[in-house]
Copies of this chain bind each other. A is one copy, B any other.
């Protein structure tokens, strides 16, 4: 933690922190709703996610403006400056999480609901739950300034990648079994990929959060199960 006493800087920063928490909660809700809309073919819910993304974008702009105003006004140094730049970056990842949830929602008419075989629904649900837990943990750990927790968060992304690879293969099988599955399964592959990418953004948040809290970079690369074998999608 930085050593300055409670100042106007902290009050300004608290506003930015609150925006991050709000964006994080909204992002988690969008991910949960997008999966629910997809699995139950709920088009009105899918529509709602599209409008929630507008709110997400507006929050990001608000945060960016607040962060830039804070830097200009308070001219923070070292740790404080890192915190503000880190907040800008984390907001960008949260905004992308919203975009990806919206993209899943937009595929509901093409891929959702009764056309999805039960075992596949189960795999999608499992993957979505893993991702959702990561999003929620990221926000909680950032809010509680838990640097060590953020390290474990990044490591846990591997479970999402493994689940994605398994789901990718499952989807290919359905496509090969019956060409009538090809269009919907292609959309589902994108939905699965979007969930996997949400996991990557959580990893970015963990890395940025760690840097913000400690001033140290986490090592640039970690083993990435999704990319080690080219055949995995």
Q: Are B106 and A227 in contact (CB under 8 A)?
A: yes
CB of A166 to closest CB in B, whole Å: 15
Q: Are A182 and B176 in contact (CB under 8 A)?
A: yes
Tally chain A residues at the interface, Cβ within 8 Å.
Answer: 37
A170-217 CB contacts (< 8 Å) to partner B: 172, 175-176, 179, 182-183, 186-187, 189-190, 193, 217
Complex Cα distance A82/B64, Å?
A: 11
User: Is A233 engaged at the interface, CB distance under 8 Å to the other chain?
Assistant: yes
- Chain B residues in 8 Å Cβ range of A85: 68, 71, 88
Q: Are B68 and A71 in contact (CB under 8 A)?
A: no
Contact of A71 among B71, B189, B190 (CB under 8 A): B71
User: Is A1 engaged at the interface, CB distance under 8 Å to the other chain?
Assistant: no
CB of A208 to closest CB in B, whole Å: 11
Q: Are B187 and A190 in contact (CB under 8 A)?
A: no
| Closest B residue by C-beta to A171 | B186
User: Is A136 engaged at the interface, CB distance under 8 Å to the other chain?
Assistant: no
Q: Are B61 and A81 in contact (CB under 8 A)?
A: no
Contact of A81 among B71, B108, B190, B230 (CB under 8 A): B71
| Closest B residue by C-beta to A102 | B227
A142-184 CB contacts (< 8 Å) to partner B: 172, 175-176, 179, 182-183
User: Is A77 engaged at the interface, CB distance under 8 Å to the other chain?
Assistant: yes
User: Is A72 engaged at the interface, CB distance under 8 Å to the other chain?
Assistant: yes
User: Is A57 engaged at the interface, CB distance under 8 Å to the other chain?
Assistant: yes
- Chain B residues in 8 Å Cβ range of A82: 68
- Chain B residues in 8 Å Cβ range of A193: 190
Q: Are B75 and A110 in contact (CB under 8 A)?
A: no
Q: Are B186 and A233 in contact (CB under 8 A)?
A: yes
| Closest B residue by C-beta to A57 | B220
Question: Which 3 pairs from chain A and chain B are nearest by CB?
Answer: A75-B75, A109-B230, A176-B179
A-B contact pairs, 13 of them (CB 8 A): A68-B82, A71-B71, A72-B77, A72-B78, A75-B75, A85-B88, A92-B92, A109-B230, A172-B182, A176-B179, A182-B182, A183-B231, A190-B233
